Amino acid sequence: MKLKETQALFTALADETRLRILNLLAEGELCVCDLMKVLGEPQSKVSRHLAYLRRTKLVSARRRGLWMHYRISGSDARMLEPVLRVIKDRRSEIDELDRDLRKFRQQKGCLVACCE
């Protein structure tokens, strides 16, 4: 990995919204509509941050109908793996990440309704 790519990783992690998105994607693939619902953010903001994460190759996407589904990238995100482990281990101590995860788990059965 080049220094520029490493810098892009840390820049991606430095933004609150992108960190919240990665926290949720650590649970598995999600639709943009799911992320909007859990984060309480408009589609334009969520999509803008997802585009940034795609450019840095931290997430990948696939289209399903009108909606895009995102997941943590495979081999391109190797440097992200230890960071995600720390986030998963400590997210209960970070109010926003803990709140997002609780909301996600509570609504899990209700999510992806827009994609059906």
Q: What is the pLDDT of residues 36-69, one digit of tens each?
A: 999 999 999 999 999 999 998 899 999 988 888 9
| Confidence band for 111, pLDDT divided at 50, 70 and 90 | low
Residue 61's identity, in one-letter code, is A
Q: What size, in residues, is the chain?
A: 116
What's residue 116's pLDDT?
47
Considering the entire predicted model, what is its pTM? 0.88
Which domains, from first to last, does the chain contain?
Answer: 3-105 (1.10.10.10)
Confidence of residue 98 (pLDDT cuts 50, 70, 90): very high
Q: In terms of Cα–Cα distance, which of 30, 77, 33 is closest to 53?
A: 77
DSSP track, 78-106: TTHHHHHHHHHHHGGGSHHHHHHHHHHHH
